[in-house]
Structure 1
């Protein structure tokens, strides 16, 4: 399927994104991650630095979450070479639109999702329209389960990018929990996703993958006697089975620093 057709199939997602009002000021932060990540296409590992900016906020009809990663490693293999990658997910809450609880049982709300994924180095562009269930689980600030279509609008090999693929779907769980222990504040957050196999433009299989990225941090600012909720440090564990659809899997712990604005 050519790029124009894929772009038209993503039109509904674009309209949802454009319809989302400007979000109220929310939470913004920078993250620094240091670890030894694998290039799944060469099965080699390099020390990798990732700087992330992310922002989350609520608005009258829902919420939004976005992040941008800048990744650079010590290799010279065309992977993670000063690469910029970003995702944006606005939502329309059925509960907020209706003015009351829209869920049932442990599900407190349902939402319509929009989404855009973009990678500069691989020239990847994907739209992810879908549905979200928000769960009311004690101890969690939020716990969501998302089911979304993946509409590929990537440039493809002819335009110097990674191979375009068929459309697919994804299932994602994302969460945030904080607690006090030994006089300190800990945060456990992250997401885990499953994406089934698809076929690329050459007819080759892009394998199904599982990606989990949980983070565990402690409030360092509070430990040092400063303002709490600003500076956190800890680890991110990344497990990626069949990374980027290859037969190479990854299990790595990365050092993590979070600076909340």
Structure 2
């Protein structure tokens, strides 16, 4: 269930967000050819299909995900196109997080126990279509932790504000991870995902959302590691959209294809 915010002010905010996002992409793509600091990043597309374990119903999702760095800046974003397989009312949900890296500003890695970097982040969450839509903006520090190998572990802490006078500002705490698990020379697993804990924002209570994923590096079995992954994702949402007692549990098959 989604809360409905479709007034003219929200439509203006959405148009402004899309304009800024488009301008940022144009500047980044144009800067690759001329800037001394080269933009580096990677993208993937995911195809998911699963069933709601709490209630009957099927869900199909196409996700486009991107991460990139540009000097002291980095960004992460994704877009989900999903619906209940009927194709009658698809929804587009997107999140975008630009971040400023303190270690890259200082020119050296931060050595504070397990912390390897501190970042200041902003973010927007936007839903288009479906039964309703909403706009959320976030800001706050993020902490990246030192892990052996190429694994990623970070903790993001945000001030969270949903558009609408009736909504109070609250907090969001998000640990996320992406950890390779080599089993053998041929069998390589990858465990990734995140957890969002969002506090009470006025109407609606606190909510918890997690989406852990476990993948087999399918491409590695034919000598092309890191290109194609096959696995599963479990999406669990306690108090969906802040509605107490409304939970969602969806187990999905997931095919991830790297676009690098």
TM-score by length of 1: 0.79
Gaps in structure 2 of 5+ consecutive residues? 1-6, 30-38
Identify the match of residue 188 of structure 1 among 182, 187, 191.
191
What residue number does 1:63 align with? 74
Identify the match of residue 28 of structure 2 among 13, 22, 26.
22
Alpha-carbon distance between aligned partners in 2 of 1:148 and 1:19, rounded to the nearest angstrom: 22
Q: Is the 8 A contact 1:140 1:175 kept in 2?
A: no
Q: Is the 8 A contact 1:103 1:110 kept in 2?
A: no
Q: Does 1:216 align with 2:214?
A: yes
Identify the match of residue 59 of structure 2 among 48, 58, 61.
48
Q: Which residues of 2 match residues 220-235 of structure 1 at below 5 A?
A: 220-223=218-221, 225-235=222-232
Q: CA RMSD in A?
A: 3.0
With over 3 angstroms needed to count, the CA separation of the structure-2 counterparts of 1:176 and 1:131, relative to structure 1, is: same
Alpha-carbon distance between aligned partners in 1 of 2:196 and 2:150, rounded to the nearest angstrom: 19
Q: Is the 8 A contact 2:51 2:58 kept in 1?
A: yes
Alpha-carbon distance between aligned partners in 2 of 1:116 and 1:63, rounded to the nearest angstrom: 15
What residue number does 1:238 align with? 235
Q: Is the 8 A contact 1:46 1:75 kept in 2?
A: no
Q: Which residues of 2 match residues 72-151 of structure 1 at below 5 A?
A: 72-74=83-85, 81-121=89-129, 122-138=132-148, 141-151=151-161
Q: Is the 8 A contact 1:118 1:126 kept in 2?
A: yes
Q: Is the 8 A contact 1:3 1:153 kept in 2?
A: no
| Cα offset, 1:105, TM superposition | 0.8
Alpha-carbon distance between aligned partners in 2 of 1:19 and 1:68, rounded to the nearest angstrom: 16
Alpha-carbon distance between aligned partners in 1 of 2:105 and 2:24, rounded to the nearest angstrom: 14
Alpha-carbon distance between aligned partners in 1 of 2:76 and 2:136, rounded to the nearest angstrom: 16
What residue number does 1:31 align with? 46
Aligned length: 233
Q: Is the 8 A contact 2:119 2:142 kept in 1?
A: yes
Identify the match of residue 248 of structure 1 among 240, 246, 260.
246
For residues 207-238 of structure 1, the C-alpha deviation after alignment (integer angstroms, 9 at most, x for no partner) is 21111111100111222x25221110001111
Q: Which moved more, 1:131-140 or 1:103-112?
A: 131-140
What residue number does 2:258 align with? 260
| Cα offset, 1:137, TM superposition | 2.6
Alpha-carbon distance between aligned partners in 1 of 2:63 and 2:85, rounded to the nearest angstrom: 18
SS of residue matched to 1:69: strand
What residue number does 1:159 align with? none
TM-score by length of 2: 0.79
| Cα offset, 1:136, TM superposition | 0.8
Gaps in structure 1 of 5+ consecutive residues? 157-163, 200-204
SS of residue matched to 2:75: strand
Alpha-carbon distance between aligned partners in 2 of 1:36 and 1:19, rounded to the nearest angstrom: 36
Alpha-carbon distance between aligned partners in 1 of 2:107 and 2:24, rounded to the nearest angstrom: 19
SS of residue matched to 1:45: coil
Identify the match of residue 201 of structure 2 among 198, 219, 226.
198
